[in-house]
Structure 1
Amino acid sequence: MTTGKRICVGAIAGAFGVRGEVRLKSFTTTPEDIESYGPLYSEDGKRSFSISLIGQAKNGFTARLTGVDTKEQADALRGMRLFVDRDVLPGLPDDEFYHADLIGLEVYDTGGALLGRVENVLNHGASDLLEITPAAPGDTVLLPFTVAVVPTVDLSAGRLIADPPDGLFSD
């Protein structure tokens, strides 16, 4: 069953060879798993590919994609990000989340007041930050995504409970 939500799991880095092979970057936890997720889609969903990994390359793999038979076709795909339907990805432990599952959740404080909505999940190397569009007029807020600041994530209810540092959200 497809929920309509797709997650980026890889990108085509360019052509490899002359018979349509590509250099492929995998963003999956176990990089080789990208081959087993079924059809991968272009961002607009207009193209789909099955992948066969054929070797290793710097920062990724070499691969064959269905329907890509020439170097020129492979070159034309350079930079294309590849997406998979969210529901084919493996489940995660209770304390881990796919970023795509967090986007769109409503954010409430520990007293039940609506603070805003998660617009994006950012990671600049240290830890994840939730980009929140506040319910009250104001600038976007970056909320650390830690257990101390976000003690509850309830995907089924479409919300998370936050205990933000004082002054982070306008009063």
Structure 2
Amino acid sequence: MTRQQGPQTDKPERVCVGAVAGAYGVRGEVRLKSFCAEPDAIGSYGPLWSEDGARSFDVTLGAPVAQGFAARLGGVRTREQAEALRGVRLFVDRARLPGLPDDEFYHADLIGLQVFDTGGAPMGRVKAVLNHGASDLLELVTPGQKGAVLLPFTRAIVPTVDLAAGRIVADPPEGLLE
């Protein structure tokens, strides 16, 4: 999930919870990809918003389909309208998301944090949080290195996440950053 950071405005903070993958059927349903830990939770957060905040959609989930759900979005009645939404990322107001235990984090909270090694030396900044099936990986943009570094997001390798201070302390395996 992505945290919206930037200048303070009166707009609510929103987190990306899914995306429209295209039309499903001929009656205006969409194929909805959920980025939630519990995929069907995307239907329970209330209206979902387009990234620019210009449109909101009430969501009614249908049957599970390949890589998501068949879903009805409020105001979408035709296949053409559904297909026009392909690629639209959907956001929910941060306040509508459930709280997490102390040792769990929304991906949005990790993106942009500075990462330091256990000696305090800067390692880089979290660009993205990836998951290819086994566990989460922090994609770091590191100064002076070509390309990104993938850091396993495990308690052993990342013992400290301090959201208030905007920093992560990592103890990477030897040779990871060489």
The TM-score by the shorter chain falls in which range?
0.7 to 0.9
Runs of 4+ in 1 over 3 A off after TM superposition: 1-5, 59-62
The amino acid across from 1:103 in the alignment is: I
For the pair 1:119 / 2:123, whether they are aligned, the reply is: no
Q: Could you tell me the TM-score, scaled by structure 2's length? A: 0.79
The 8 Å contact of residues 2 and 86 in structure 1, kept in 2 or not, is answered as: no
Matches within 5 A, 1:1-171: 4-18=13-27, 20-53=28-61, 55-59=62-66, 60-134=68-142, 136-139=143-146, 140-169=148-177
TM-score (norm 1): 0.82
Asked if structure 1 preserves the Cα contact closer than 8 Å seen for 2:118 and 2:170, the reply is yes
Structure 2 unaligned blocks of 5 or more:
1-9
CA contact (8 A) 1:16 1:23 kept: no
Equivalent position SS for 1:52? strand
CA root-mean-square deviation: 2.3
Report the CA distance shift for 1:150/1:74 in structure 2 as closer, same or farther (over 3 A).
same
> Which one has the largest radius of gyration?
1
Identity, % of aligned pairs?
62
The superposition leaves residues 64-94 of structure 1 with CA deviations (integer Å, 9 ceiling, x where unpaired) of 2222122321222234332223332111222
* Alignment partners' CA distance in 2, 1:8 and 1:33: 9
Number of residues paired by the alignment?
167
Q: In 2, distance between residues paired with 1:63 and 1:16?
A: 10
Per-residue deviation, residues 12-47 of structure 1 (Å, max 9, x unmatched): 4313343x2333333323333222212212234332
